[in-house]
Amino acid sequence: MLVTGASRGIGRAVATAFAAAGDRVAIHHRSSPDLAEDLRAGLPGEGHVVVQADVADPAAVRRMVDEAAGALGGLDVVVNNAGVFLAHPVTEVSYEEWQAAWHDTLATNLLGAANVAWCAVRHMSRGGRIVNVSSRGAFRGEPDSPAYGASKAGMNAMGQSLAIALAPHGITVGTVAPGFVETDMTNEHLKAPRGDAIRAQSPFGRVAMPEEIAAAVVYLASPAAEWASGTIIDLNGASYLRS
Ligand code: NAD
């Protein structure tokens, strides 16, 4: 299996969960070779590899996916996890900053995932599983990063379209859409006082841990999950159920 953006956060938890279940993992990173190698060396089992690419670069994606498939002898599972959250409040940023944030966010979160999927399908000759890591921002708005919300809404729609297109090939496409998860991406948001308000959104009074997202990814990648193809799992600890 291949997981993008695996050197830290949710991707690292996903890689760890798959290795614990006995899978060989291709650990993708962009610019963190030491973290990726540290993860590889600590995973249970043999045969894990580290692969590198900027997922916003289509040629690099193709090289990276081919390399991962070559090392693992094909691909059974691919998890599109790499992503960025760039703040660009519409009333505060310049037109140039607005352009740059939209470009970089869509190139990474949406086009990167689309390109990984295209390349991965070519290595799934015996069927497979594609799992996309989307976000609650796809449904509920991201006022500070509208491109992020749009990229994840696009990812949801892409996942549903690919689920239909790939079913005849024995490939399923599932999506998880977490709310706040405790990672480097949310460090700043989760500091008081805003963090207290965020934690209060869930009746559990906390945000998710990366391992809780990884567990849903493992389910969507399992042989039992064929009927979950096209599904978007809204993983939010019962948040947003009260008005
Ligand atoms: P993170 O910042 O720790 O991890 C993101 C990973 O993506 C990093 O390893 C980063 O290097 C990689 N990445 C970013 N741009 C890249 C690029 N151009 N090429 C290659 N790799 C790139 O944050 P995280 O919370 O672990 O995020 C993982 C995924 O989960 C993201 O897609 C994010 O949008 C999504 N998500 C996170 C939360 C949250 O609250 N943390 C909530 C919903 C969805």
Contact (Cβ atoms closer than 8 angstroms) between residue 233 and residue 177: yes
Q: Is the CB of 154 under 6 A from ligand 1?
A: no
Q: Domains of the chain (ranges plus CATH)?
A: 2-235 (3.40.50.720)
How much of the chain is helix, strand and coil, in % rounded to 5?
45, 15, 40
Question: Is there an atom of ligand 1 within 6 Å of 16 CB?
Answer: no
For residue range 100-137, what is the model confidence (pLDDT) as tens digits?
A: 999 999 999 999 999 999 999 999 999 999 999 999 99
Q: How many residues does the chain have?
A: 243
C-alpha distance across the termini of the chain, in Å: 40
Residue 195 identity (one-letter amino acid): G
pLDDT digits (tens, 9 = 90+) for 52-104: 999 999 999 999 999 999 999 999 999 999 999 999 999 999 999 999 999 99
Dist. CA 6–CA 222, nearest whole Å:
19
> What's the average model confidence in pLDDT over 196-220?
97
> Hey, which residues does 160 pair with through a beta bridge?
none
Q: Within the chain, what is the greatest distance between any pair of CA atoms?
A: 51
Q: Is there an atom of ligand 1 within 6 Å of 217 CB?
A: no
Question: What is the 108 CA–ligand 1 centroid distance (Å)?
Answer: 10
pLDDT for residue 233: 98
7-16 pLDDT, tens digit per residue, is 999 999 999 9
Task: Provide the ipTM.
Answer: 0.99
Split at pLDDT 50, 70, 90, the class of 158 is very high
The residue behind tokens 């079913």 is 167
Q: Beta strands 77-80 and 2-3: pairing type?
A: parallel
> Considering the chain, what is the average pLDDT of its residues?
97
pLDDT for 47:
97
- Sheet arrangement for strand 49-52: 49-52, 26-29, 2-3, 77-80, 128-133, 171-178, 232-235
For residue 242, is pLDDT > 80? Answer: no
149: pLDDT strictly greater than 80: yes
Beta carbons of 233 and 220 less than 8 angstroms apart: yes
Ligand 1 binding pocket mutation candidate from 185, 198, 199 (most atoms within 8 A of CB): 185
Which residues lie across from 130 on neighbouring strands? 78, 173
Q: Which atom of ligand 1 is nearest to the CA of 148?
A: 34
What pLDDT was estimated at residue 243?
A: 65
Choose which residue among 51, 183, 211 to substitute to test ligand 1 binding: the one with the highest number of ligand atoms within 8 A of its C-beta: 183
Selected residue with higher pLDDT from 241 and 230 = 230
Q: What percent of the chain has pLDDT over 90?
A: 98
Per-residue pLDDT, 151: 98
Cβ atoms 98, 88 nearer than 8 A: yes
- In this prediction, residue 15 carries a pLDDT of 98
> Do 105 and 28 form a contact (C-beta atoms < 8 A)?
no
pLDDT confidence of residue 173: 98
